[in-house]
Amino acid sequence: MLSAFGWGAVAAGSLFVGALLALARSWRKGLVGGVLAFGAGALISSVAFELAQEGLELGGPGPVAAGLAVGALAFFFADRAVDRIGGRSGGGAGGLPLAVGALLDGIPEQAVLGIGLASGQGVSVALLVAIFVSNLPEGIGSASDMRANGKPARTIVSLWAAVSVVCVLATVGGYALADVVGGEVKAGIDAFAAGALLVMLIDSMVPEAHSKAGNRAGLVTVLGFAVAAALSNLT
């Protein structure tokens, strides 16, 4: 349980670090877009080589298909609700939708880390790197928007600290859940995370990376995929 808390804190801590970096200085759009693109490539690799593959091995195609559908629909409708928050609030939303989005995709990601630890497989370095790298620009982008809209630094830090804590608790929850559920449920959780991540990548992360980094985003995405794939095969 202690290891799940520790590794969960490492992965989720990048959200909080990103917020602190945003408060410390201004960041060029191209740099944030490049980090987003690298993280997107790493997450695509993790979906393919970690989540979907492990789900098929644990529970077969049925639970994986069901988990993918539920995860995709859950993120889709939750993301629409986040968009309505931003739409109603206009510019005053000040990065809140990004913060909520980070929470929505962070919980299943971190739960999968905990499940892997409880299964005796150790921490997945590829998934850990993918989560860490993809979290940084979310924290930087959201906190930057909040600061630009006049939110106090204390409010920004408190919000991202809370998001990070919830994600760490999701890792611990995944670890505890793995002890009482079978392979099919674990497969469904893997697939749920994969489905939510795929929708998030296509609807949010990849378009934002391209809008900020331009045509370079594609090349950096491939680099992120290659690095994560190599790490996955080493573990």
Q: Which residues contact 151 (CB under 8 A, 6 or more apart)?
A: 94, 95
What is the number of structural domains in the chain?
A: 1
Which pLDDT does position 49 carry in this prediction? 85
Which pLDDT does position 120 carry in this prediction? 66
Which pLDDT does position 62 carry in this prediction? 92
Which pLDDT does position 118 carry in this prediction? 78
Which pLDDT does position 228 carry in this prediction? 82
Which pLDDT does position 69 carry in this prediction? 95
Which pLDDT does position 223 carry in this prediction? 93
Closest CA to 199 of 79, 72, 57: 72
Compute the distance between CA of residue 205 and CA of residue 202 in angstroms, rounded to an integer.
Answer: 7
The domain in which residue 34 lies consists of 2-234
- Quick check: pTM over 0.95? no
pLDDT means over runs of 10, the chain (235 residues):
84 89 85 85 85 86 93 86 59 59 76 77 72 79 78 88 91 82 81 87 86 92 89 68
Which pLDDT does position 91 carry in this prediction? 44
Which pLDDT does position 53 carry in this prediction? 85
Compute the distance between CA of residue 220 and CA of residue 34 in angstroms, rounded to an integer.
Answer: 6
